[in-house]
Chain A
Amino acid sequence: MQLQLSPEMQAFREEMRTFFTTQVPQEIRDKVAARRHASKDDFVTTQQILNAAGLAVPHWPVEYGGRDWTPLQRHIWREEMQLAHVPEPLAFNTSMIGPVLAQFGNQEQKDRFLAKTANLDIWWCQGFSEPDAGSDLAGLRTTAVQDGDEWVVNGQKTWTTMGQYADWIFCLARTDPTAEKKQRGISMLVFPMDTPGVTLRPIELLDGGFEVNEVFFEDVRVPSENLIGEVNKGWDQAKFLLGNERVGIARVGGTKGMLALAKELARETTYNGRPLLEDARYSSRIAEIENELVALELTALRVVANSADGKPHPASSVLKLKGSVLQQEVTELIVDIAGPLSVASFAEEGSDVPDWARVSAPEYLNYRKVSIYGGSNEVQRVIISGTILGL
């Protein structure tokens, strides 16, 4: 047993901290710190800086840019990135389709896509969820029918995050409607978003932003070589991908940063002539959240130390569940600190409401998503009670 990081890991952490705080433009990090959405250019600029330094896809196989790091190194890398308010490498590229291509793709597909995926030269989006297939993903109805050397895709996807920026989509479609189990008969296809027959409708969220979209496919013709893995085995890739999606989902570093901000705001905000931070109700609320965050971080470190062969530890469901709840509690805390000013979300020039108070309620509402995506918290409870507790 030892508490401190080894000297090598301390040096590694220092190296990461220095890189993230000196090499990623301050202007981009300030925007993330101020809880404003980073732009497409911000994401691309950042990921290309990281990729040039070998820090965009360290978890990939070494031959495609990975670093052969220990799980602890990856944890430190991610935490330091979040603490420094660096927009993370695009998850659709680096955590989702990239690892799937490396694991299931043929050589031609790897050569064609992986380098560009790591460098965000291709921006990928995810075509998984459908109006009638959310948590029950295997209920998807988008079809792909073979026609000579092509697949003809028809159907609809939804919740396609940042699809408006995407160059390509990776998409699950039903290729064998007669399969006995609905999980069989699904395949994974990839194609450009400007393929004829693809249309996109942005969905406005409660925060006024447009981060998700509906995507419609009408007789979209996709060449056969764009099918990833085996025909009708797409569910294997989907499970592999969703397992990776939960890694790092505790977001301890990001929540720590938000809580530090909440403390500052509570110090600057006065109530009955005293800083809110000195109000017992607020300070103990902060103490309770902070303590659970410490426990979550320590649990993440335990999970990291015990995860073998890159497979997620069953307790990673704990990280998703508690991690999402704590993120939400901090955003709720910040709305409460903003108090009466929190309603002025869309104030413009001429208003005296500070920017942080304007974004507080939109962010609180936007963060309801974190207990829904990546397998809703109810799905995590099914996993815990079934897989871990054997119920």
Chain B
Amino acid sequence: MDFTYDSEQNDLREAVAALLARAYGDSEVRRKVTKNDPGFDEKVWTQLAEMGLLGLPFAEEHGGMGAGPVEVAIVAEEIGRVLAPEPFIEAVVLAGGLVDAVGTDAQKGELLGALAGGTSVPAFAHAEIGARWTASASAVTATEAGGSWTLSGVKEPVPHGARADVLVVSAALPGGGTGLFVVNGDASGLNRTGYRNIDGTRSAKVRFEGTPATQLGTGGDQTDAIERALAVARIAYAHESVGAMDTALRTTTEYLKTRKQFGVTLNKFQALNFRAADMYVSLELARSIALWASVVQLSDGDVVTAADRARLLTSRTGRHIGKDAIQLHGGIGVTAEYKVGHYTARLTAIDHLLGDGDFAADRLAAKVGSYPTVDPLGAPYA
């Protein structure tokens, strides 16, 4: 057992933190960037590509860096720390991760190479109105005719669906099951309506009307691959949450030390300090379980259950820290002009993107009777 970062990992963290601090050290910059489409800074996206981060988890032969889940976790945490709006998890971990897991060698070379190079942003079009965080698709259906596939139906909300250069789409297969398809951004019969989310990022309604599509990989039911990709993305989001919670708490304690009321700084009030202490407890527990989930992934353990564990705790702690960060700031915490509320907004969005705490709790609850105790260092995690 070893939960310490090695020197290369520490170097990576330092480099990513420096790049993102230059870009978003001033929270006003993020506010401006997220006001205009595509909701992130294309120049920063290029810088992430130049640093190799957009190909971080992919094999070198596909233009990647061949790094592992812990490196991805480090980047996600640093993104959360400054709320960088670039779609690292959505494009690299989720859409890219699916291509890497399911795609043919040719697809990996083409799609991952373009992603890693910063020339093409992929997105995963999966959510459907009426469905709640399932691994399957039903509202978009795939049809085969003469060896070619077309898709019909609506996906929404699709994170960064309007900006994406290429879409990985889940669709119900004619014979049952859920397949994965690749749709180019300029395909015919593709209609996209983008909008701004509560956290400043973007989503879209994506309508397919007999849209030509290519099977990702060799086709067939991909529900398991989707389940796994969602789990890996949940783990990455857990780290982004930890980074965001860390800054939310730090911002709050700084405020308590400087803001004066009744002639004294707020940290003279034990009622406020105690709430900050409880936020710290939540943060450290979340940090532990997020890191553990990444190491489970590294060990090729039960990544789906580990992700549910990380999601359950980061959902609960993210709400706790997000809400109390605003409360301890008072009215200014609710304004868009001060930074702390944006952290709460992002934590709220992450919480609902791929399944909330209750969703994860339900899945874990269904299994509690099947084993007496959990050994986080043993089977099925190690």
Contacts and interface: CB of A to CB of B under 8 A. Distances in A.
Tell me which of A280, A301, A389 has the highest count of chain B C-beta atoms within 10 A of its own C-beta: A389
A277 B285 contact: no
A39 interface: no
Given A2-B295, A5-B377, A298-B292, A290 B368 contact: yes
A337 to B, nearest CB: 13
Contact of A286 (B2, B4, B368): B368
B338 interface: no
A391 B267 contact: yes
Contacts of A264: 372
A381 B282 CA distance: 13
A184 to B, nearest CB: 26
Interface in B251-310: 253, 256-257, 267, 270, 273-274, 276-278, 280-281, 284-286, 288-289, 291-292, 294-296, 298-299, 301, 309
A36 B63 CA distance: 63
Contact of B362 (A278, A284, A291, A315): A284
B365 A284 contact: yes
Nearest to B358: A284
Contacts of B5: 1
A293 B372 CA distance: 13
B365 A296 contact: no
B381 interface: yes
B368 A1 contact: no
Contacts of B267: 385, 391
A297 interface: yes
A385 B285 contact: no
Interface stretch (A206-214, A225-233, A255-263): A255-263
A6 interface: yes
A3 interface: yes
A315 B288 CA distance: 12
A267 B369 contact: yes
Nearest to B272: A391
Interface in A333-391: 378, 380-382, 384-386, 388-391
Nearest to A389: B253
B291 to A, nearest CB: 8
Given A3-B299, A263-B372, A295 B382 contact: no
Contacts of B3: 1, 298, 301-302, 305
B148 interface: no
Contacts of A380: 277
Interface string B340-382: 0000000000000000001001101110110011101110011
B312 interface: yes
B92 interface: no
Given A305-B3, A381-B273, A389-B276, A294 B257 contact: no
B172 interface: no
B313 A385 contact: no
A280 B366 CA distance: 8
A137 to B, nearest CB: 19
Nearest to B317: A295
A381 B276 CA distance: 9
Contact of B376 (A278, A297, A381, A388): A297
B295 A292 contact: no
B171 interface: no
Contacts of B274: 378, 381, 385
B129 interface: no
A171 interface: no
Give chain B's interface residue range (CB within 8 Å of chain A).
35 or more
B313 A295 contact: yes
Given A284-B362, A301-B3, A322-B285, A4 B377 contact: yes
Contact of A388 (B270, B280, B369): B280
Nearest to A9: B1
B70 interface: yes
B292 A390 contact: no
Contacts of A15: none
B163 to A, nearest CB: 34
A380 B276 CA distance: 12
Nearest to B267: A391
B288 A302 contact: yes
A294 to B, nearest CB: 5
B288 A286 contact: no
A3 B364 contact: no
Interface in B80-95: none
A188 B47 CA distance: 63
Interface string A303-332: 001000000000100100110000000000
B365 A286 contact: yes
A5 B299 CA distance: 12
A45 interface: no
A321 B4 contact: no
A9 B378 CA distance: 12
B1 A389 contact: no
Nearest to A267: B369
A288 B253 contact: no
Given A4-B382, A389-B277, A295 B289 contact: yes
Interface string A58-81: 000000000000001000000000
A381 B374 contact: no
A287 interface: yes
A260 B368 CA distance: 10
Contacts of A322: 281, 285
Given A322-B285, A384-B281, A287 B365 contact: yes
Contacts of A295: 285-286, 288-289, 313
A48 interface: no
Contacts of A318: 280-281, 284-285
B359 to A, nearest CB: 11
B1 A287 contact: no
Nearest to A385: B273
Nearest to B257: A391
B273 A1 contact: no
A302 B270 CA distance: 28
Given A3-B292, A298-B292, A391-B253, 9 more contacts: A1-B295, A5-B1, A259-B373, A277-B369, A288-B312, A298-B3, A301-B3, A382-B270, A385-B276
10 pairs of A and B residues whose beta carbons are closest in the complex: A385-B273, A298-B288, A283-B365, A384-B277, A381-B277, A295-B285, A260-B372, A287-B365, A287-B364, A284-B365
7 contacts: A3-B296, A257-B373, A277-B369, A292-B285, A295-B286, A295-B288, A389-B277
Interface of A: 1-6, 9, 72, 83, 256-257, 259-260, 263-264, 267, 277-278, 280, 283-284, 286-288, 290-299, 301-302, 305, 315, 318, 321-322, 378, 380-382, 384-386, 388-391
